[in-house]
Amino acid sequence: MIPNPKFRLQGLMLASLVFIADQMVKFAMLGPLQLKERGVIHIVSFFDLRYAENRGVSMSFLTADSDGERWALVALTSVIAAGVGVWMWREKLRGDVLALSLVLGGALGNIVDRARYGYVVDYADLHFGAFRPFYIFNLADACISMGVLILLARAFLIGDKETGRGPDVQESASNADIVEKS
């Protein structure tokens, strides 16, 4: 099956939308809302805007403290993003293309931050009293996480009907056997 060019275009459009939205929100946080200077803006009892500089990747893993480490991290994450882009371009299933586009758009947003500032701007603080189920994050992080979760759910719950893998496919095959035997 040849990848559908329409899926590619939709994926590129969604990745672009995620990237632009992420950069616009970060601009608002640093510019008009002056979150860096203010530190925290209380929104509701379980959500604040809280300024944070993430010098690493997910959960501050691989923290880049020097300029050399920063650019190495930019290079590493750029290679990973390029791999996601190639995967998205070659992917045949629409749901996977759209999930990969969330990952790609988010990754590009964070790469631009790291190249521009030396860190990723984080601002979303979800909490329940003192309990924080997540580190402070941003829109790009949320899109990356959603894209990965969608890919995992599709891989484990739906499977690939073309290759005959996954619980949905096995159930369909069993039903087909029953129909043939009748």
- Residue at 127: amino acid letter: H
Which residues have C-beta within 8 Å of that of residue 80, sequence separation ≥ 6? 107
The 8 Å CB, 24+ separation contacts for 60-65 are 60/135, 64/114, 64/118
The yes-or-no answer on residue 67 being catalytic is: no
Of 22, 122, 125, 177, the active-site residue reads 122
Residue among 22, 141, 168, 177 flagged as catalytic: 141
Tell me the one-letter amino acid at 177. D
- Whether 122 is a known active-site residue: answer yes
Q: Output DSSP code: residue 160.
A: B
Could you give the CA distance from residue 88 to residue 99 in angstroms, rounded to a whole number? 9
Catalytic residue set: 122, 141
